[in-house]
Chains A and B, each alone.
Chain A
Amino acid sequence: MTNRPQTLTTSLAGRARRLLIALMSVLALLVGSSAGAQSLVPTDQSFSHLVLVAGSDNAAFNIRFIELLKQTLGDRIEVRPYTEAISQAQPQALVVSLGNRALSRVQQQSTRPPTLALMIDEDQFANYANRNGPPLSAIYYDPPLLRQALLGHLILPHGNQVSMLVRPGQETNYDQLIDELASYGLKAKLFTVDSEDNLIASLARALTYGDYLLAVSDNAIYNPRTIKHILLTAYRRNRIVIGPGRAFVRAGVLATTYTPVDDIARAASRHIKAFLQSGRLPPAVHPEDFGVEINQQVARSLNIPLPEASQLEAQLKSLLGAGTEEEAP
């Protein structure tokens, strides 16, 4: 397509440079980690200031994130790639996991280390949250649904009915959200998607109720294979879709909020520092900061007058009340 979403335009030269940096970093890491393997046990003075990063399957992202974390944490805290051996040897060291698979890996270790889960959805983390044992917390990656719903309301002020597609058995998870939405004058209803076979049937019913569809972060419902169909059905019925994430805006979703990686790193460093001071991890949170990404071309197609993303972001922040991080339930 000719019109790319505003914030994603990058020149080819820029891409090439980033890729080259990524490549060089991979090489540097390989060299670095083999060097590290020779002195596996760190010295005493770095002991309490060691953070291990259990990366995702995306090596380039891992490198970039470790760099970011190092920058935000400063020189006194050592950040290293996680291996089970190091973690076993340093059971007190905090492990930062990137993504659901990394968290799963770390949590399956025979002695579980204190863990801060990043790049993970609230839903995914709920599976681990109530385990006893060493400290465990998270910085959620998925945008909080209240924030997403309010973004939809800002874009469509006359729309006050919200539809959500959910998987069977998940319905009660949204009770609190529905109450919160009511305090903003928004009404929400859930439509269950029993299986992929009745996705469109449920969606069609959802669209007869909702002024907009609030997409929950559920890979079984919203994924690259289903999103095109969902969007076409919604747009043909003159309904918009908000969320679930930034990549979906590129695929044609009207708008979403998202957390920039820098903000995740900042939120993580606050948790890490708190842990290093007290030995305890603050509760799981959605990062306070967020950005708004919109798709102007889709808005034009739907004849929806849409403010600038920065304006929506400011309005949304004032609506949510600045400064308070939303605590997890």
Chain B
Amino acid sequence: MSLLTPNIKKYLAAALLAPLSSVPAQVLADNLVAALDVSDAFAEDYGFLLEAPVPEVLTTTKLRQPKSRVPGTTTVIQGQLIRDLGILNLVEVFRLVPGMTVGYVGSNRPVTSYHGTVAYDQRRLQVLIDGRTAYLPSLSGVDWNTMPVALENIERIEISRGPNAAAYGINAFLGTINIITRSPEDTQGVNLHTSYGSRGHKNVFGSAGNVSDDFGWRLSYERRDEDGFDFQVNDDTLERETVHDGYSLNFFNYDARKTLSSVHSLDLRAGVTDGIDEEDKGRIGDEFGAITDPDVDVRDYYLQARWNYAPLENHYLHVQASYQNYDRHQKWRTCPPGFGFCADTNQNIEESRLELEIQDTLILNPDLRLVSGLGYREDRFNSDTFFNGNGSNYQSRLFSNVEYTPIQWLTFNVGANWEDSNTLDNEVISPRFAANFQLAENQTLRFVFSKAVRTPDAFEQGADWGYRATNVEPDALAFLEGMRVGPVFQAPGTLDEERIISREISYFGQFRVGDGLLSTEIKYFYDHLRDIISGHLSLGEWDLDNNVALDQKGFEVETSLEYPDTQLRLTYAYMDQDGEYTGEPVADEQEFIDLESRLTARHSGSAVWVQQYGFDISSALAYYFVDEFRRGQFERADLRLVKNVYTPRLNYDVAVIFQYYLHDIPPISRNNIIKDRNQVFLEAGLRF
């Protein structure tokens, strides 16, 4: 038997396989497998599934992991569900995530958060689009209305619920949202979609793409129009009056993937956003005496490239670079009451972010996997009004996560992120430890401990805020031309980083219930948030400090039950928050706690029922609630009815969406008034 040297064996195998090229490959491949058990025509691996996004959880550790091995609860919302439910704005998706709330703190400027803690913007979430950081560089808020991603292009959204600094560094403080768009390799053909309805909602989307052996691309265009809220409350008369807070935006996106060789590939993405985001002159502040609406002229763009290198099936890496530019021109005419002059002023700001990342994944064996990498980020901002010039922040980091499964029923994840930034006094290490116990087949119990920090953003720490007057009238006051007029504020720059320690016990289980599949995830959490920055952040009143401590505990449930023709999904979150003011003595300590709790709620959740009927008609009923925000409850019921037509060469659908608001009172800001509690939208789509 030993006469055959390995080389001869190889030769024989090759000789046996050689005829494959000239005969129907599948039949012979099957023959060979069945008869000889020698290697068949296909690469005997799923290596290609590892680096590409299959529906495992990717976001939490940056390793692809099934839910049984992920160190922390992660909600995955499929793009299909978003479309089935008739969700019209990206931010509303997050009502489906346990523990997340969505609201409008300012005017038509949506905010979402996990575990609340919001003043005006949410600065404590990491938001990514295809791995590119997507919150604003200097103010750290998230501008959902101008987010350059079309709902039609979303493959899925992963929300890692809990601190995730171990993988993403500062700002992955409460959670991480990762929006994953469809691969240009999957979107061949033409996709057209439009929706039209209440409050001036108009959306037009079109994409075209093609796929060849080594190149896939997609070009998308989207136009979003909305009138915003119907009424605001006049600060003086307390009467309702119309509000100018819509938007009209154009988006162009290009996505491509080039396969360079069997081990190299290149992803390229680029996008341009252009349009107007309206702002009402009544909302900019009385003291301004604005006489024109301070609309924001939005001109953003981004470029992203990622080189993937997979020399071995158990070792691969990528290098990613992205550059984003946000150019916002906001100019208006103002006649400050009592000062006897009029002038133009602005809140122009240009921000940019350069991001570089190298990530390496090493699979020593299926039970020992390691991901590690380096990251560099440079945030630049230029605003005469907010910074009296320009500035920049730098951040370098090193991250790693080991997943180790010593025995079949136990998986450990140990991860950490080391970080240095000019916004930090000292270098910071953010760790995470997790143990996942496999209780039974398809049942997992996790214990997770993690720490994270958030550094004050550029504005909180370094604001140099004042308004410059131009085109001053009357001429007698021309000496004001080019000067900062009115109050000017310079931030002391003494803020420290915020800290969180998070503990989680969670359970994930899947069961077959008759013809159905029941999946459920329950999370218990107990988090300590310390040195939370709270206070007023306006020109007349600026008292930000690390002055609040919060203890949050509670539980969250996410359950889905899928039957033939029927899909049910339920989420519920209960959160108990204890707040303590820890700063310098003040008259109203509670106010500082409340200021950072605008999206905090004790109860929140959602219920979804998607039902298929004959003739490819289906309905989706969704109910969302928050009990309660500071001005009251939020409850809304949505119904979408759709007729789908599938033909061998073309699919199309027509749908109608009803939204019913159960309460008249705007739950967060009194200015966000909707005239009609019933809203109606029509939708149509075509794919070929």
Stretch in A41-49, A238-246, A275-283 touching the partner: A238-246
CB within 8 Å of B: which A253-308 residues? 258, 260-261, 297-298, 300-303, 305
- Bound-state CA distance A235–B48 (Å) is 12
- Bound-state CA distance A232–B155 (Å) is 12
> Do A303 and B46 form a contact, CB below 8 Å, given A22-B16, A65-B35, A204-B187?
no
- Bound-state CA distance A229–B212 (Å) is 11
- Bound-state CA distance A23–B186 (Å) is 45
B23 contact from A22, A99, A209, A251, Cβ within 8 A: A99
A235 contact from B54, B564, B565, Cβ within 8 A: B54
A32 → chain B closest CB, angstroms: 20
Say yes or no: A160 contacts B34, CB within 8 Å.
no
Give the contact-size bracket for chain A.
35 or more
Using an 8 Å CB-CB cutoff, how does the interface string of B151-177 with A read, 1 for contact, 0 for none? 000011000000000000000000000
CB within 8 Å of A: which B464-515 residues? 510-512, 514-515
Interface residue? B422 (CB, 8 A): no
- Bound-state CA distance A248–B41 (Å) is 10
Say yes or no: B26 contacts A219, CB within 8 Å.
yes
Interface residue? A4 (CB, 8 A): yes
**Main SS of the interface on chain B?**
mixed
B31 contact from A13, A58, A194, Cβ within 8 A: A58
- Bound-state CA distance A219–B26 (Å) is 7
Using an 8 Å CB-CB cutoff, how does the interface string of B31-46 with A read, 1 for contact, 0 for none? 1111111101111111
Interface residue? B365 (CB, 8 A): yes
A244 → chain B closest CB, angstroms: 7
Contacts of B612 in A (CB 8 A): 161
Interface residue? A212 (CB, 8 A): no
CB within 8 Å of B: which A194-230 residues? 194, 197-202, 204-205, 208-209, 217, 219, 222-225, 227-229
> Do A185 and B564 form a contact, CB below 8 Å, given A23-B12, A201-B188, A235-B49?
yes
Contacts of A185 in B (CB 8 A): 564
Q: Which residue of A lies closest to B67 (CB)?
A: A303
Q: Which residue of B lies closest to A163 (CB)?
A: B646
Contacts of B40 in A (CB 8 A): 247, 250
B48 contact from A14, A23, A101, A228, Cβ within 8 A: A228
Say yes or no: A252 contacts B35, CB within 8 Å.
no
Interface residue? B590 (CB, 8 A): no
Q: Which residue of A lies closest to B508 (CB)?
A: A303
Contacts of B516 in A (CB 8 A): 157-158
Using an 8 Å CB-CB cutoff, how does the interface string of A1-22 with B read, 1 for contact, 0 for none? 1111000101001111111101
A100 contact from B4, B27, B688, Cβ within 8 A: B27
Interface residue? A107 (CB, 8 A): no
B183 → chain A closest CB, angstroms: 6
Q: Which residue of A lies closest to B69 (CB)?
A: A300
B24 contact from A22, A191, A219, A302, Cβ within 8 A: A219
Say yes or no: A233 contacts B37, CB within 8 Å.
no
A208 contact from B1, B54, B64, B80, Cβ within 8 A: B80
- Bound-state CA distance A15–B149 (Å) is 52
CB within 8 Å of B: which A123-161 residues? 141, 156-161
Q: Which residue of B lies closest to A264 (CB)?
A: B34
Say yes or no: B517 contacts A158, CB within 8 Å.
yes
B646 contact from A205, A231, A300, Cβ within 8 A: A205
Say yes or no: A305 contacts B442, CB within 8 Å.
yes
A251 contact from B37, B42, B66, Cβ within 8 A: B42
> Do A200 and B32 form a contact, CB below 8 Å, given A16-B4, A57-B19?
no
- Bound-state CA distance A58–B13 (Å) is 12
Contacts of B16 in A (CB 8 A): 19, 22, 58-60
CB within 8 Å of B: which A153-197 residues? 156-161, 166, 171, 185, 189-192, 194, 197
Interface residue? A121 (CB, 8 A): yes
- Bound-state CA distance A235–B55 (Å) is 7
Interface residue? B266 (CB, 8 A): no
Using an 8 Å CB-CB cutoff, how does the interface string of B212-241 with A read, 1 for contact, 0 for none? 010000000000000000000000000000
CB within 8 Å of A: which B385-426 residues? none
B54 contact from A22, A121, A302, A305, Cβ within 8 A: A302
> Do A141 and B30 form a contact, CB below 8 Å, given A10-B37, A159-B564, A204-B189?
yes
Say yes or no: B54 contacts A223, CB within 8 Å.
no
Interface residue? B687 (CB, 8 A): yes
Say yes or no: A236 contacts B186, CB within 8 Å.
yes
- Bound-state CA distance A18–B13 (Å) is 11
> Do A1 and B313 form a contact, CB below 8 Å, given A58-B28, A232-B49, A258-B30?
yes
Say yes or no: A20 contacts B4, CB within 8 Å.
yes
> Do A247 and B41 form a contact, CB below 8 Å, given A60-B35, A190-B648, A223-B26?
yes
Say yes or no: A3 contacts B366, CB within 8 Å.
yes
Say yes or no: B42 contacts A227, CB within 8 Å.
yes
Contacts of B242 in A (CB 8 A): none
- Bound-state CA distance A26–B421 (Å) is 71
Q: Which residue of A lies closest to B186 (CB)?
A: A233
Using an 8 Å CB-CB cutoff, how does the interface string of B69-85 with A read, 1 for contact, 0 for none? 00000000010100000
Say yes or no: A301 contacts B31, CB within 8 Å.
no
B687 contact from A13, A197, A205, A250, Cβ within 8 A: A205
Contacts of A237 in B (CB 8 A): 78, 80, 155, 186
Interface residue? A56 (CB, 8 A): yes
Say yes or no: B37 contacts A8, CB within 8 Å.
yes
Say yes or no: A119 contacts B27, CB within 8 Å.
yes
Interface residue? B678 (CB, 8 A): no
Say yes or no: A157 contacts B564, CB within 8 Å.
yes
Say yes or no: B48 contacts A232, CB within 8 Å.
yes
Interface residue? A64 (CB, 8 A): yes
Q: Which residue of B lies closest to A60 (CB)?
A: B16
B595 → chain A closest CB, angstroms: 40
Contacts of A14 in B (CB 8 A): 37
Contacts of A161 in B (CB 8 A): 612
A233 contact from B28, B185, B313, B366, Cβ within 8 A: B185
Say yes or no: B46 contacts A298, CB within 8 Å.
yes
- Bound-state CA distance A64–B363 (Å) is 38
> Do A236 and B55 form a contact, CB below 8 Å, given A19-B13, A201-B688?
yes
Say yes or no: A57 contacts B189, CB within 8 Å.
no
Contacts of A171 in B (CB 8 A): 648
Interface residue? B89 (CB, 8 A): no
Say yes or no: B4 contacts A157, CB within 8 Å.
no
Say yes or no: A250 contacts B44, CB within 8 Å.
yes
Say yes or no: A250 contacts B4, CB within 8 Å.
no
Say yes or no: A22 contacts B36, CB within 8 Å.
yes
Say yes or no: A301 contacts B562, CB within 8 Å.
no
A59 → chain B closest CB, angstroms: 8
- Bound-state CA distance A217–B56 (Å) is 29
Say yes or no: B56 contacts A301, CB within 8 Å.
yes
Say yes or no: B515 contacts A157, CB within 8 Å.
yes
Say yes or no: B30 contacts A246, CB within 8 Å.
yes
A121 → chain B closest CB, angstroms: 7
- Bound-state CA distance A143–B63 (Å) is 36
A39 → chain B closest CB, angstroms: 30
15 more contacts with CB within 8 A, not counting A157-B564, A235-B49, are A16-B4, A18-B37, A19-B16, A157-B515, A189-B646, A198-B188, A200-B187, A202-B649, A204-B188, A205-B687, A208-B644, A209-B651, A305-B441, A305-B510, A305-B511
Q: Sort A-B residue pairs by CB-CB distance and give the 10 closest, nearest first.
A: A201-B189, A1-B45, A160-B564, A192-B648, A200-B188, A158-B562, A201-B188, A57-B19, A251-B42, A247-B29
Name 25 interchain pairs, CB-CB below 8 A, sorted by A: A2-B365, A16-B9, A18-B36, A18-B38, A19-B13, A22-B12, A23-B12, A56-B23, A57-B19, A59-B16, A60-B16, A156-B517, A200-B186, A204-B188, A205-B646, A205-B650, A219-B27, A225-B213, A236-B183, A247-B26, A247-B29, A248-B26, A298-B46, A303-B55, A305-B510
Q: Which A residues are within 8 Å of any B CB, using their own CB?
A: 1-4, 8, 10, 13-20, 22-23, 56-61, 64-65, 99-101, 119-121, 141, 156-161, 166, 171, 185, 189-192, 194, 197-202, 204-205, 208-209, 217, 219, 222-225, 227-229, 231-233, 235-238, 244-248, 250-252, 258, 260-261, 297-298, 300-303, 305
